[in-house]
Amino acid sequence: MAMAGLYRRILPSPPAIDFASSEGKKLFTEAIHNGTMEGFFKLISYFQTQSEPAYCGLASLSMVLNALAIDPGRKWKGPWRWFDENMLDCCEPLEKVKDKGISFGKVVCLGHCAGANVEAFRTNQSTIDDFRKYVIACSQSDDCHVISSYHRGTFKQTGTGHFSPIGGYHAERDMALILDVARFKYPPHWVPLGLLWEAMDTVDESTGLRRGFMLVSRRQRAPALLYTLSCNHESWITTAKYLMDDVPVLLSSETMKDVKNVLATVFMSLPLDFAEFIKWVAEIRRKEDGGQGLSEEEKGRLSIKEEVLKQVQETGLYNHVTDILSLQNLVCPTKQAMGHRDSLPSIAASVCCQGAGILTGRSGSSDRFCCRETCVRCYRATNGDKPVTVVSGTVVNGNGEQGVDMLVPLSQGEPSCCNSGSCGDSGMHPASNDVLTALLLALPPHTWSGIKDKKLSDEISSLVSTESLPPLLQEEILHLRGQLLMLKRCKDNKVEDDLGFTSSSSRFLQGMDPLHDDPMFFQKLNFYSKQNSHRKSSHAVTNCSIHKLLFTHSGVCSLGAMTPGKGYSLSAVSLAEIRSTIACPKSASYNMRGMLARYIGVLIYVSHV
């Protein structure tokens, strides 16, 4: 005999107050008057009901991502790109979520995978006063939203752990509005903030960890300008272990006599596949999109990359690395590992094949494309007051061919770009010496602390210090260091339990804007404006279309271009794209692959249709 279903639940009141009740409406009106419902309107515009009984975490995040106008980078249905719960499969298989729900840490992971900036706090990492400040701040703005993870039992509701966004705050009554995504069960309702804190300050039995809350906002910048780390090749685990664990031990040897000795020791023992670990970022476009010229946006982005490259080459460490690599008998394994990585035609052939796969909508099938010729076409185009290098390739598969251009950042050497129709290597693009320099600068400071000779230790510390680096390069290196530390967390299986405060969240808590209070912000802004990059601040972008994609697949990362004069936004691609482009090793756990995708982000540039 079929069992009768359930039609809603009666909302226990008190402690909750139904949003649609007379008292709920009064609280809403008063909160609007006091300016603490600003985030409500974007959220309510994208309010959704969870499509499965255990999809509360996915529905909450999907709702917030759409409210923030973050482009998912892949289609939902028809031609439309839109966040749906079924697209949030990055950090946990959907079948598992459908059966058992999802943990707090993995929702945080999903947010990062999907392109948002997420700052998470368990209740044992925060206080109720801090929580209140965050709720008030987000309620007074529509560019940041709070998702709460709490236990329903505290509100006398049926069920256990639950996720829902907070839609507003009533200051006089100290109440928060929960936009419950289980609308088949309970309507939106007001609850005392203190009681909500108690509901969050409970232990999730599946992890043994406290619940909490997260702040979700748009990212302000692309994760990398010129360099990024990659987990495409299975050797990333070996390389990360070597850099983070083995190098400090090697450097504690008594045989360290000078800088050359230190660097040679590091290079001689590098894993053979370490070149798969760090990539430089190239930009691709359809050949017909650009012709022989570059748009102002393309020139601006290329100029910024070139400035980062120039700043790397101006460091004292770069000179030492270059000298070491010139010693044939000293670093043979390193040179073998880099091998064809310094050959522009080889790099371009790989990137153009990947680009063709992306630009034809088959991002995971670059291996089905191949260069029609063994050598790519390189030409020199002059735009404005300086030359640029664009490598062109025509790739083919069984269904036709695709022309792809790769925009190459150049060093400050004397140009030697090939003429149109000829082949060759300009030798001016990012190469092994600057890539290795960036990687060494990104190593944590304690890496070098085992050097026993005080004078040598001080010299090395000076060479690898980030404090004196120019703002652009400092930001680039610190981002690489963050990627490296995240890889170590993944390698050590510390994914779920290390969410804590970040520097930007601490500044936010103190009433500071992390973007505008960044001490380097105006210096960077000044440089960007000089380069005519036209980087706009993040606003809601609708009806967007993918133009190009940055990815870390076999070879160099590739970055997309935008339509000149059109508004644009940055976001990270969610799992289906990440799986096919980052291609983390099958031996890695599902959770680990998701966490890697958080920080080794796949990016897209989008433009209005």
Q: 351 to each of 247, 288, 336, 344, 405, how far by Cα in Å?
A: 31, 17, 21, 10, 9
- Provide the phi-psi class of 219: left if phi over 0, else alpha when psi is between -120 and 50, else beta: beta
Around Cβ 51, how many Cβ atoms within 10 Å?
A: 14
Q: How far apart are CA 463 and CA 601, in angstroms?
A: 29
Pair of tokens at residue 462: 């000076």
Q: Quickly tell me which residue has 């409970």 as its tokens.
A: 202
81 contacts 101 by C-beta, under 8 angstroms:
no
E strand or H helix that includes residue 388: strand 386-397
Runs of H (alpha helix) within 465-558 = 471-491, 503-509, 521-530
List, in sequence order, every residue forming a beta bridge with 145; answer none if it has no partner.
216
Q: Which has the closest alpha carbon to 142: 228, 67, 220?
A: 67
Give the distance between the most distant pair of CA atoms in the chain.
84
Distance CA 411, CA 318 (A): 13
Question: Does the N-terminal peptide bond of residue 248 adopt cis geometry, omega within 30 degrees of 0?
Answer: no
Angle at 139 between CA 166 and CA 20, to 5 degrees: 55
Give me the residue label for tokens 């300008």. 225
Residue 382 phi, psi (nearest 5): -100, 120
Positions annotated as catalytic residues are 56, 162, 180
Is 223 in contact with 603 (CB distance < 8 Å)? yes
The long-range contacts involving 365-373, CB below 8 angstroms and separated by at least 24 positions, are 365/580, 366/553, 366/554, 368/397, 368/398, 369/395, 369/396, 369/397, 369/402, 370/395, 370/396, 370/397, 371/395, 372/396, 372/401
Angstrom CA distances, 258 to 255, 399, 432, 447, stand at 9, 57, 22, 16
How many Å from the N-terminal Cα to the C-terminal Cα in the chain? 54
Q: Which residues pair with 307 in a beta bridge?
A: none
* Inter-CA distances, 381 with 79, 226, 420, Å: 35, 21, 9
Distance between CA atoms of residues 608 and 439, nearest Å: 36
